[in-house]
Amino acid sequence: MSEFLSRVDFAWPWAGVLVLLPLLARFVLPVKQPVTEQVRVPFLPELAESLQLSAPAPRSSGWASLLFWAVWILLIIALARPEYLMPPKTLIKPMRNIVLILDVSGSMEKNDAQNGQTRLQAVQQTVRTFIEQRKNDRIGLVIFASQAWPFAPISEDKQALLSRIAQLAPAMAGQQTAVGDALGVAVKLLDQSLDADAAKMAILLTDGNDTASQLPPTLAAQLAAAHHVMVDTIAFGDTSSSGEDKVDTALLEKIAATSGGNAWHAATQGDALSQVWQQIDAQTPQQVKTLGFSWHRPLFHWPLTAALALLLLYAIGNTLLRGRT
């Protein structure tokens, strides 16, 4: 009980001075107005006797006075707006924004990944695990092939993001690879985030080299560094291949070095890609801010209800007593 009372406060405590208002009205205001004119009535004694006007006026009982003061005090308490300060709650606010930049070009349809999966299927499976582990991060998605598109906004809604990951298909944005454009879109997406204080990170995965960018990848990396976006790159594919299908590890290493991130390489065979995502998760601690907050719960309706209930009981009791007489 003492803990409850310690959390009760009044929003308008100055309303308590109104408790003295009835006393001021009783002792300050004049009881009777002075009579300046009189009317002589010859038969007034007979009229007063027949109407019993000479009997003393009934005095109010102690119960009526007690009822008045109880109702008045309850109304003043309600007017003072009592509030209960709720116990503080803890809110964990994510302080890292991550954008996944995933290659969905035509080469991601090759089924040289583990267990006969296509490259994109292997990416989808490992990315889902990574997203589920990053419970306290806001994550968005950018896809790219011949063009780059923001495919999911940066948010804490992991289920919505996973559903967008499941919708990915090879060549859904063309056949070529626009690494620089994709990185530029990710930087813009991170800049538009509402939480400016959060750390910004991008994870770029591709299995080829840049063949379609309007924004040169090296310039996009400098843009990321200028906007404080750390970029981790994942070269996913066979480095021994040739032509446009060969993953450009040198370019990805340069992008990572320019932005202060790490460059990773994952072979298409075995669980190399899964291990890369695990290493990124281990080396990128989740950043959160713990916030404590409380709110006030209004209590004015309790004294107000009690005052109305007393008045109702008095009215019912008075009516029953009159009915008996």
Please compute the mean of the pLDDT values over residues 96-112 and round it to a whole number: 92
Domain coordinates in residue numbering, the chain: 2-87+299-324, 91-290
For 91-290, CATH gives 3.40.50.410
Residue 11, pLDDT above cutoff 90: no
Q: What is the pLDDT of residue 46?
A: 66
- Chain position carrying tokens 């606010």: 93
Mean pLDDT for the chain?
85
> What share of the chain in percent tops pLDDT 70?
82
Q: Dmax over Cα atoms in the chain, in whole Å?
A: 132
Please compute the mean of the pLDDT values over residues 10-22 and round it to a whole number: 86
Q: What is the pLDDT of residue 56?
A: 56
- Tens of pLDDT, residue by residue over 278-319, are 999 988 877 666 555 667 889 999 999 999 999 898 888 888
Q: What is the pLDDT of residue 259?
A: 96
Residue type, 164: R
Q: What is the pLDDT of residue 34?
A: 59
Element (H, E) at 212: none
- Determine how many CB atoms are found less than 10 A away from the CB of residue 158: 16
Q: What is the pLDDT of residue 124?
A: 96
- Residue 200 binned pLDDT confidence (cut-offs 50, 70, 90): very high
The answer, as to whether pTM is greater than 0.95, is: no
DSSP type of residue 128: H
Q: What is the pLDDT of residue 287?
A: 67
Q: What is the pLDDT of residue 57?
A: 53
Q: What is the pLDDT of residue 246?
A: 81
49-58, 67-76, 94-103, 262-271, range with the lowest pLDDT? 49-58
- Residue 24 binned pLDDT confidence (cut-offs 50, 70, 90): confident
Tokens at 45, concatenated: 């004694």
- Tens of pLDDT, residue by residue over 243-254, are 666 889 999 999
- Residue 116 binned pLDDT confidence (cut-offs 50, 70, 90): confident
- Tens of pLDDT, residue by residue over 182-192, are 999 999 999 98
CA angle 198, 199, 204 (to 5 degrees): 130
DSSP type of residue 56: P
Answer positive or negative: Cα dihedral of 276, 282, 283, 284.
positive
Strand 96-103 with 138-144, pairing? parallel
Give me Rg for the CA atoms of the chain.
Answer: 40
Q: What is the pLDDT of residue 35?
A: 57
Residue 224, pLDDT above cutoff 70: yes
- Tens of pLDDT, residue by residue over 123-181, are 999 999 999 999 888 999 999 999 999 999 999 899 999 999 999 999 999 989 999 99
Q: What is the pLDDT of residue 51?
A: 62
Residue type, 95: M
Distance CA 305, CA 150 (A): 56
288 bridge partner residues: 94
E strands, 136-287, in order: 138-144, 148-155, 199-206, 229-236, 263-266
